[in-house]
Chains A and B, each alone.
Chain A
């Protein structure tokens, strides 16, 4: 349990109490009502993997999962998260520290360069594949439309499109493997 007061250091600033789960761990906090979720994650919980690229909800670099769905942490106030479950890029790797299929695919396909937009892309693509495993069969055009909520200035998206497809295939193959009944 993490519990503490995260208030603006200016004393007359009121705070509200919130209780949430971040990357599987319960967190209790007392926060300024104007504190952005992105700042709460980054500067108060030290989860600096979530990046802030525009602070107006367009670039998607700050994407996290709130209750299992991709959301912009720069457009969300921390106080809105009372009772919520939040997942960030730091939680994507496996318990043994291995890269997730989406992370591995981004590496294989050169889906990142400077790495700044990458956590947001990873969270968006992970949410996409959680929701729709059939992306593996989608056309390139469809994949491009499905990932068009995140901006990248480095890659020209080619590697990201390829990575999304590879990750979808890996996840589907793993699922099929798991579904095969084990013989005698």
Chain B
């Protein structure tokens, strides 16, 4: 793994050495998880807990003509059967979380269907029973009669006149539409010497976290507190929704995201039916209630993403300089649009990628189809935009007879052009797209070097002579990361043990916050990384903040925590200086203690923390020196003066001025088997830049996981809806999520161009790996099969059958 750095962010004079920050530190969270001591929702032991199960629609679009729960209620062990008729105020359309003026026909679903169903999997009834087995028995005894209505699951046909409507009052099935302009695309197309237009399609997939959705709730009638454990990326948001839906004070609702078994986007959406019905049942029944979604339900309940059809057109000079871009696309939002236009908006604003392209016109329509609702999944529209743009760049290169690397080189934004603004393209933070920093040219050059292109071309020539299909594909992407509005960080040094507690408003689903955030703090306070304890995902502990999404945790929370740690450091230095009677500048914090430079004198952090807190009781030796009567007190006034506070506890917030743009370029050398049409990725090379890396091991883990999802989307994973709206492959048997055998070894190289937008110089990394993979694989296979003269590969996922058909079609021409 290679690593190159641009200039470091400026360090203050008294800044501590960066020992942990930037190092490959093993994770604090691992020993617990490796011992089977993780605490996921279903692992929380709740005395007297009862269990829920849903009746779900097996019809895509239909009218409920009869629903009878009598038999289910008679099953021994059943405590309650809920339908829309007995859930009181919850029988309402759930919030549209992110409104936008372009959403002319926003529709959201009810927790339990009333009158109509809109997709296979929609919840109709919720049974609570003594255990999951009995609950499922009872579900099977609910009798429901649904009269099917006509459906159209094909998005292009769904917008045509006369197509069946998902919502009768939404003409053309259009939920939202938006046109954005940057520069003057019409003039650019007028002036251009060459136009290239292609139509690309990306099909539907799912985040498929290993832990499905899960909710548990307990109502305490004594304190009036509702505690909800939920596998969510947004506990603070869910708390807001629950206190508002149930009309409870916020401090009476505590939402805890304990260990969460993967998120990948779908768990940022809330509230799912289980997230409101489990708390309702817990409050009504006076017993803890749990609902653990199973995999077959997850496929038809948790949000999907990806289906988009783009018609993208590039306007270029003969030399391959792209001067204009037009893109018109349809975005499938499923049966509802609860998360607003996020996916389509992010796709539309990523459409010009790393290229200068000064004139852009991009238009999208969000289309209702009678399918599972769509909300962001790792990449959030970027993989689709990247696929459209990069396949178009390849096509332009071919039409103009320019090498694929060369045409990209000619269009990349140069280092001295940053910040590079696309006035008129409004990103998901409500601000114009502004790329903050990067070394795009260097990244491409590094990739070319690592690939050893001359050697590859020679090998490809030999392979072709032997009748083998060997090809090279590449894709360059950018990713707007680190969206606001803000996050907070609180740092507290425990007054007894000297251990450092850190809180923020996020959750983690595997990203290693307990380590990377701890590294930032450990450097400021001179303590070991495993003496910094990061607690997040619990509104009872910390409830200022937003959530984990959009590759933002390190950028936004990391910056807030860093700022809080800097303040805590100042306070420690001040107290230690008083105690040691030296100047704060002479003190260094190291190995959990404050020492006077050049001497052997040190005071442990625990002692400093204890002294910082004036005490009445001398419960141990350390406490004795902090009591108000101890000789150490100055005796010239009260122990706390002015606006000072006890202890060492600091809190800071970080609010990004706008998104920070990470980027990277991937290439693959692929071979297609001429008999089985199976795909073999012989090399997968990555150049990646997410600014300053706090823990390169974790960054690489994020990239590798992203690429694996991307491989799924490129060649394996496709949710297949039948014409009647039934999801054909709702299981891991038929939805082909990659195993280790389908994911290549990845060679990773890093550039580190810090962002000027935050104090730690970091950009986001969570989604990066996924974005370019479909384009890389399609480009590589296109190159491999070029001798066969196959048609363009503009639709993913590909698979052996598609390639077989493409070759057969080419040969029959």
Contact = CB atoms under 8 A, between A and B. Distances in A.
Interface of A: 8-12, 32, 34-35, 39, 42, 46-56, 58-59, 61, 88-90, 92-93, 99, 103, 106-108, 110, 112-119, 122, 140, 143-145, 147-161
Nearest to B733: A58
Interface string B740-772: 110101100000000000000000000001000
A147 B743 CA distance: 12
B741 A116 contact: no
Interface stretch (B126-134, B459-467, B778-786, B798-806): B126-134
Contact of B732 (A58, A89, A118, A148): A58
B740 A157 contact: yes
A119 B210 contact: no
Nearest to A56: B731
A69 to B, nearest CB: 19
A9 B737 CA distance: 37
Contacts of A61: 210
B294 A88 contact: no
Given A54-B732, A113-B701, A116-B40, 5 more contacts: A53-B261, A144-B739, A153-B737, A159-B701, A161-B740
Given A114-B510, A140-B745, A50 B700 contact: no
Contact of B210 (A53, A55, A110, A148): A53
A158 B30 CA distance: 17
Interface string B679-710: 00000000000000000011011011111110
A155 B701 contact: yes
Nearest to B32: A115
Closest 9 interchain pairs by CB? A49-B36, A116-B261, A114-B510, A113-B510, A156-B704, A115-B33, A156-B708, A89-B36, A58-B732
B68 to A, nearest CB: 22
B35 A156 contact: no
User: Which among B27, B36, B739 has the greatest number of chain A C-beta atoms within 10 A?
Assistant: B36
Interface in B1-45: 26-27, 29-31, 33-40, 42-43, 45
Nearest to B132: A39
A158 to B, nearest CB: 4
19 contacts: A8-B77, A48-B42, A54-B294, A54-B731, A56-B295, A58-B732, A59-B732, A88-B36, A99-B31, A112-B33, A115-B29, A115-B38, A116-B38, A144-B739, A144-B741, A152-B210, A155-B708, A157-B708, A161-B745
Given A107-B26, A115-B259, A152-B210, A50 B36 contact: yes
Nearest to B707: A156
B701 A116 contact: no
Q: How extensive is the interface on chain B, given as a class? A: 35 or more
A114 B39 CA distance: 11
B709 A8 contact: no
Interface in B112-140: 130-134
A116 B210 contact: yes
Nearest to A149: B739
B733 A56 contact: yes
Contacts of A32: 133
A80 to B, nearest CB: 17
A122 to B, nearest CB: 7
Contacts of B703: 156
B590 to A, nearest CB: 26
B39 to A, nearest CB: 8
B208 interface: yes
A159 to B, nearest CB: 6
A51 B261 contact: yes
Contact of B704 (A55, A88, A116, A159): A159
B698 to A, nearest CB: 7
Contacts of B698: 110
Contacts of A153: 207-210, 262, 264, 705, 708-709, 737
A52 B209 CA distance: 12
A53 B708 contact: no
A140 B684 CA distance: 14
A108 B31 CA distance: 11
Contacts of A113: 262, 510-512, 701, 705
Contacts of B697: 110
Contacts of B739: 144, 148-151, 157
B674 interface: no
A32 B45 CA distance: 21
Contacts of A54: 294-295, 731-732
Nearest to A100: B34
Nearest to A117: B210
A114 B740 CA distance: 17
User: Which among A32, A42, A118, A161 has the greatest number of chain B C-beta atoms within 10 A?
Assistant: A118
Interface in B346-378: none
B657 interface: no
B732 A151 contact: yes
Contacts of B77: 8-10
A16 B360 CA distance: 70
A167 to B, nearest CB: 12
B518 to A, nearest CB: 15
Given A56-B731, A110-B697, A34 B133 contact: yes
A63 B260 CA distance: 19
B741 A145 contact: yes
B209 A107 contact: no
User: Which among B77, B211, B294 has the greatest number of chain A C-beta atoms within 10 A?
Assistant: B211
Given A58-B731, A110-B27, A157-B740, A122 B264 contact: no
B434 interface: no
A51 B262 contact: no
Contacts of A89: 35-36
Contacts of B260: 114
A35 B131 CA distance: 11
User: Which among B260, B296, B509 has the greatest number of chain A C-beta atoms within 10 A?
Assistant: B509
A108 to B, nearest CB: 7
A51 B39 CA distance: 11
B701 A9 contact: no
B295 to A, nearest CB: 4
B76 interface: yes
A58 B734 CA distance: 10
B34 A103 contact: yes
User: Which among B33, B42, B260, B704 has the greatest number of chain A C-beta atoms within 10 A?
Assistant: B33
A10 B76 contact: yes
A165 to B, nearest CB: 12
Contacts of A140: 745
Given A59-B732, A116-B40, A116-B261, A151 B737 contact: yes
B35 A92 contact: yes
B267 to A, nearest CB: 11
A64 B745 CA distance: 28
Contact of B211 (A51, A112, A161): A51
Contacts of A58: 731-733
A144 B261 CA distance: 23
Contact of B133 (A8, A50, A148): A8
A112 B30 contact: yes
Given A48-B42, A58-B733, A112-B30, A90 B510 contact: no
A12 B42 CA distance: 27
A61 B38 CA distance: 13
Contacts of A103: 34-35
B322 to A, nearest CB: 32
Contacts of B737: 151, 153
A88 B76 CA distance: 33
B76 A11 contact: yes
Contact of B76 (A12, A35, A59, A108): A12
Nearest to A88: B36
B509 A108 contact: no
A76 to B, nearest CB: 16
A106 B211 contact: no
Nearest to B731: A56
A140 B682 CA distance: 12
Interface in B495-515: 509-512
B210 A151 contact: yes
